[in-house]
Amino acid sequence: MLEKFFGKISKDLGVDLGTANTLVYIKGRGIVINQPSVVALNQKTGQILAIGNEAKKMVGRTPGHIIASRPLTEGVISDFEIAEQMLRYFISQIYQQSFKFLARPRVVVGVPSGVTEVEKRAVEDATRNAGAKEVYLIEEPMAAAIGARLPVQEACGNMIVDIGGGTSEVAIISLGGIVVCRSLRLAGDNLNQDIIQYARDEFKLLLGEKTAEDIKIAIGSVCPLEDKMETTMRGRDLLTGLPKEVIVNSDQIREAMRRSIKTLVNAIRSTVEEAPPELVADIMTRGIILSGGGSLIRGLDKLVAEETRMPVKIADDPLTAVVRGCGVVLEDLDGLRNVLATSQFKI
């Protein structure tokens, strides 16, 4: 009786704990939090100064004793305590108008398909320590496919490519399970680093990560554009140490990202080559679905279609596909229990 009462008060959550952004879905309400996975920490006192949007504004602009960093690297927790406090903060934001002692939600968390058991355990422990009553893990490509409304439990092939900030997941799914999968520690952050390296090599210019990301979003492409785009690249001259700006175009940025994009496309091709022929036939009909922020790079869908000779579509609202998938599982936990990566853990 009491358990049913507290279950109604508690707000169950779906969490996409991403390298770049953390999104939180509340059962019955939808997505309520979409903030950067960044934490600003005062190293002298150990005090957390800001989390999320406020912390991201500090990146590259802090004095020596303050660091603005991401507690997740390549899709997995690299700083356990900071990740736990970040999760605790987001959960407290949701429950700030409720009785906090009642805030013991069930939480479905998306994790990369290539993580180890130790890395899975780190996510479970951090989530439980942040206030969860029960923790369920779901592999991100499965969550993205569910979020894209693919019929993952039917006897047919569904192919999803989820390109996030720290990892890219390529998976073929059938009957509620992943048949073939590749998890690459190569995604949006690597493309930013490619642009930083290109600026260093070609212009002797030192860029910040946020500047590189802004350039990627503004003019990044993987195919030649009909109308060449340009933007200003501003940073520090490595030779003089003084501020410097240069005009770059979409062709140059495409060249900077070429090697990483080729690695990603090769992984997609390899996944198709490993799939059973019946599933390949299904995918030829249904198409490959792209999700995640990386899917929005101009021309990526066309390039993948050319390389695989299959139709390619971008999921509706690709940035939220994983957390929407977590939300769908949360709404029907008993019916979709077979898609979870692990069994539940209770306190």
Q: What is the pLDDT of residue 326?
A: 93
Residue 239 has which token pair?
């030779």
Closest CA to 108 of 96, 90, 122, 123: 123
123 and 164 share one domain? no
Query: 130 with 270, same domain?
Result: no
69 and 120 both lie in a single domain: yes
Rounded to whole angstroms, how far apart are CA atoms 298 and 320? 19
Q: What was the pLDDT predicted at 201?
A: 96
Residue 290 falls within a domain, yes or no?
yes
How far apart CA 108 and CA 345 sit, in angstroms, is: 11
Strand pairing category for 158-163 and 39-42? unpaired
Q: Tell me, yes or no, whether 150 lies in a domain.
A: no
Residue 149: inside a domain, yes or no? no
Helix 80-95 to helix 117-129 angle, to the nearest 10 degrees? 40
Rounded to 10 degrees, the C-alpha dihedral 40/43/211/112 comes to -60
pLDDT number for residue 9: 47
Q: How many domains does the chain have?
A: 3
Closest to 109 (Cα-Cα) out of 140, 129, 137: 137
| Two structure tokens written together for 74 | 């390549």
Per-state percent for the chain, helix, strand, coil, to nearest 5: 40, 25, 30
Residues 177 and 279 in one domain: yes
* Strand 48-51 with 39-42, pairing: antiparallel
Tell me: do 174 and 92 sit in the same domain.
no
3-class secondary-structure state, position 134? strand
The reported pLDDT for the residue numbered 7 is 46
- Residue 240 is inside which H or E element, if any? none
- As a whole number of angstroms, the distance between CA 181 and CA 270 comes to 10
pTM: 0.87
Q: Kindly report the CATH number assigned to the domain that includes residue 85.
A: 3.30.420.40
Do 43 and 83 lie in one domain? The reply is yes
61 exposed, middle or buried (CB, 10 Å; 0-12, 13-18, 19+)?
A: exposed
Same domain as 16, residue 96: yes
Specify whether 61 is located in the same domain as 112: yes
Instruction: Please name every residue paired with 254 in a beta bridge, in sequence order, or none if there are none.
Output: none
129 and 44 in a common domain: yes
What 3 state SS string does 27-51 have?
A: CCCEEEEEEECCEEEECCCCCEEEE
Is residue 30 assigned to a domain?
yes
What's the per-residue H, E or C state across 7-24? HHHCCCEEEEECCCEEEE
> What are the angstrom distances between the C-alpha of 269 and each of 159, 171, 189, 310, 323?
12, 11, 22, 11, 26
Do 111 and 70 share a structural domain?
yes
Q: Does any domain span residue 151?
A: no
Q: From CA 90, how far away is CA 57, in angstroms rounded?
A: 18
CATH number at residue 223: 3.90.640.10
Give me 146's structure tokens.
């569910």
- List the pLDDT tens digit at each of the 347 positions of the chain: 444 444 444 578 999 988 889 999 998 888 988 999 999 988 888 888 888 888 888 887 888 888 888 888 877 888 888 888 888 888 888 776 444 444 578 899 998 887 888 888 988 999 898 888 889 999 999 999 999 999 999 999 999 999 999 899 999 999 999 999 999 989 999 999 999 999 999 999 999 988 999 999 999 999 998 899 999 999 999 999 999 999 999 999 999 999 999 999 999 999 999 999 999 999 999 999 999 999 999 999 999 999 999 999 999 999 999 999 999 998 888 888 888 886 444 44
What domain range is 225 assigned to? 188-256
Could you tell me if 9 and 88 lie in one domain? yes
- Would the CA dihedral through 344, 111, 84, 35 be positive or negative? negative
Residue 45 covered by a domain: yes
Q: Are residues 27 and 73 located together in one domain of the fold?
A: yes
Partnered with residue 312 across adjacent β-strands are: 288
Nearest-5° angle of CA 287, CA 292, CA 294?
A: 95
